[in-house]
Amino acid sequence: MNFTPSEGWEARITSSFARQGLMTTMGAVIHPIAPGIVEIAVVPSPAISQQHGFVHGGAVSAIADTAAGYAAVSLMPPGTAALTTELKINFMAPAGGERIVARGEVVKAGRTLTVVQTNVFTETGGTRKLIALLIATIMTLEAKGDFSD
Amino acid sequence: MNFTPSEGWEARITSSFARQGLMTTMGAVIHPIAPGIVEIAVVPSPAISQQHGFVHGGAVSAIADTAAGYAAVSLMPPGTAALTTELKINFMAPAGGERIVARGEVVKAGRTLTVVQTNVFTETGGTRKLIALLIATIMTLEAKGDFSD
Amino acid sequence: MNFTPSEGWEARITSSFARQGLMTTMGAVIHPIAPGIVEIAVVPSPAISQQHGFVHGGAVSAIADTAAGYAAVSLMPPGTAALTTELKINFMAPAGGERIVARGEVVKAGRTLTVVQTNVFTETGGTRKLIALLIATIMTLEAKGDFSD
Amino acid sequence: MNFTPSEGWEARITSSFARQGLMTTMGAVIHPIAPGIVEIAVVPSPAISQQHGFVHGGAVSAIADTAAGYAAVSLMPPGTAALTTELKINFMAPAGGERIVARGEVVKAGRTLTVVQTNVFTETGGTRKLIALLIATIMTLEAKGDFSD
């Protein structure tokens, strides 16, 4: 699908992302790919692990949700904010490798609700393997005060 | 419902939890309540925030998922490990207050699959308010080598 | 929780339900329990079965979704309509017995979105056994023309 | 992805589908497309409608779930049966048009669990429009007695 980007969408999501303490704590980086498509990646480390040494499902889910949110934001009008109302994620393989990459792509951009699918991959030697699949519903809110994204 | 605990369930989940780097990074603490019921809590801080200062949905989801997993583990036989195969979470209010508490309770403990519901609350002055609701499906695996929970 | 019912909520949902061809086809009946709580029931029969003789998961899901929708509608202002934006259901046991009863209860009634949990039971000799658990997000729409619920 | 079909997969799913009373009641037809890909379609009619004349979300969900199940079955070994353990569906547009087509495609076929994505379309004049998106987790069971699919 082709989507109409919101004006200055790349700077907008990059600067909003930089204010997310959790993403900084996890060492996550954001890659705006195109309007409606955003990737977020982390490097596996003990700081984001579960008990068997893989990346914690909560970390996988956090970057997948965040990629979904910013994919939605990239299409939202200025002066609005995005709210994840719900998400569902299926974990299909352990999260290891050199990097974990969550690629969020807007499926349907509505006036109030936007549906986004995020595929999460492990990346090793440039090869990606699908390890998780997330569907999220993002609500567009009128921003109040400083709350725009 | 009444569930039969696995032998030594409290020590088992406390020690497995302690090996989860992400939970340590987030400052999360675990409270085994009863067989089939586990609480995990975090204190809001910039390290786990989203862009508007509330606790990040990814952090809420991470403790909710983890509480679900250990609620399931508390009923699993020794020599097994738990795997979250999928989860769904609805976010209903911002995550603020003094503490965020995720309370996982087993709904159905099957031989292969266990269904757990986690209610997430903000806690302020001892009063809890429901802010999120998670349903997860946890698979019981035969543990191999060091992979038991 | 206590919820404020919308004026004439019982007649409203009963009459809207009567216009649902699928519910008539399935022989489903509605029981308004209280504002925010609605039950819908079917009697197992070959017309709604799956290949092994149990009630089809699609029929279970259909009454669970419908119970969720009308639980939400019972709290909505006149002149609005309800739209299920998404749902998730876990199936925990086969759907048999004398009746299948889906009990929808509003968890959070928001201005735009309402979250409802539906527990589905088999009922045999007056005893209920939980067989499925659904969470749905219902959107309140301004009704246009004849489209109110 | 390429999947290895189970022997005689087309006859197997067609004959299992024919025993689903609900699908017959709804007038649904099955189209095996390829191993791991199955379509199920219905024609809108008052018998499967909701209160505003569109196809009921429960009917959409029922064919989407069934398409997911048979997509999984097409890859399963003989002597096994499929069980939908959970599903999540997002509804994105009203279900009208000439036909509603649910296309289930296996995302990950595991030994115990298979993850399937079903896209649901309205079809009018040969043109398809995406109206719903379902993710389901299907469990492979050892068939007992007559319970194979």
Q: What is the pLDDT of residues C8-62, one digit of tens each?
A: 899 999 999 999 999 999 999 999 999 999 999 999 999 999 999 999 999 999 9
Q: How much is the average pLDDT of B6-17?
A: 90
C90 CB neighbours in chain A (<8 A) are: none
Looking at residue B7, its pLDDT comes to: 75
Interface contact C110-B92, CB threshold 8 A = yes
Q: How much is the average pLDDT of B1-29?
A: 88
D113 CB neighbours in chain B (<8 A) are: 85, 139
- Comparing CA positions, the residue from C49, B88, A142, B118 lying closest to residue D135 is B88
How many angstroms separate the CA of residue C25 from the nearest CA in chain B? Answer: 31
Interface contact B56-A48, CB threshold 8 A = no
Are C75 and C3 in contact by the 8 Å Cβ rule? The answer is: yes
Q: Which of C84, C92, C120, C130 to mutate to test the interface with B (most CBs of B within 10 A)?
A: C92
Residue with structure tokens 């809420």?
Answer: B60
Interface contact B137-D86, CB threshold 8 A = yes
Q: Is A87 on the interface with D (CB under 8 A)?
A: no
Nearest-by-CA chain C residue for B119: C107
Delineate the domains of chain D, giving CATH numbers in brackets: 9-142 (3.10.129.10)
Q: Which of A87, A90, A112, A140 to mutate to test the interface with C (most CBs of C within 10 A)?
A: A112
Looking at residue C74, its pLDDT comes to: 95
Q: A142 — phi, psi (to 5°)? A: -65, 125
Residues 6+ apart with CB under 8 A from D2: none
Give the model's confidence band at D78: pLDDT under 50 very low, under 70 low, under 90 confident, else very high: confident
C-alpha distances out from residue D139 to A139, D72, D73, D142, Å: 33, 9, 10, 10
Percent of chain D with pLDDT over 70: 95
Whether D54 shows a pLDDT value over 70: the answer reads yes
Are D31 and C38 in contact by the 8 Å Cβ rule? The answer is: no
Looking at residue B136, its pLDDT comes to: 98
Looking at residue C145, its pLDDT comes to: 64
What sign has the CA pseudo-torsion D17, D18, D21, D23? positive
Give the model's confidence band at D63: pLDDT under 50 very low, under 70 low, under 90 confident, else very high: very high
Interface contact B137-D139, CB threshold 8 A = no
Interface contact C61-D87, CB threshold 8 A = yes
Mean pLDDT, chain C, rounded, equals 94
Looking at residue D119, its pLDDT comes to: 98
CA distance C5 to C78: 11
Mean pLDDT, chain A, rounded, equals 94
Whether B147 shows a pLDDT value over 90: the answer reads no
How many angstroms separate the CA of residue A91 from the nearest CA in chain D? Answer: 9
Percent of chain B with pLDDT over 90: 86
CA distance C70 to C6: 12
Looking at residue B142, its pLDDT comes to: 86
- Comparing CA positions, the residue from B66, B67, B59, B115 lying closest to residue B91 is B59
Smallest Cβ–Cβ distance between A107 and the set D110, D115, D133 belongs to D133
Q: How much is the average pLDDT of B35-54?
A: 96
Q: pTM surpassing 0.90?
A: yes
Angle of helix A9-18 versus helix A57-73 axis, rounded to 10 = 150
Are C102 and C64 in contact by the 8 Å Cβ rule? The answer is: yes
Q: Which of D86, D107, D111, D135 to mutate to test the interface with B (most CBs of B within 10 A)?
A: D86
pLDDT digits (tens, 9 = 90+) for D7-34: 789 999 999 999 999 999 999 999 999 9
Q: Is A88 on the interface with C (CB under 8 A)?
A: yes
pLDDT digits (tens, 9 = 90+) for C97-132: 999 999 999 999 999 999 999 999 999 999 999 999
pLDDT digits (tens, 9 = 90+) for B108-125: 999 999 999 999 999 999
3-state secondary structure of C61: helix
Whether D136 shows a pLDDT value over 60: the answer reads yes
Residue B120: CB atoms within 10 Å: 30
Looking at residue D125, its pLDDT comes to: 95
pLDDT digits (tens, 9 = 90+) for B56-75: 999 999 999 999 999 999 99
Residues of chain A scoring pLDDT < 70: 1-3, 145-148
Give the model's confidence band at C79: pLDDT under 50 very low, under 70 low, under 90 confident, else very high: confident
Give the model's confidence band at C135: pLDDT under 50 very low, under 70 low, under 90 confident, else very high: very high
Residue C77: CB atoms within 10 Å: 11
Smallest Cβ–Cβ distance between A20 and the set B20, B51, B81 belongs to B51
Whether D4 shows a pLDDT value over 80: the answer reads no
Looking at residue C144, its pLDDT comes to: 72
Q: Is D88 on the interface with C (CB under 8 A)?
A: yes
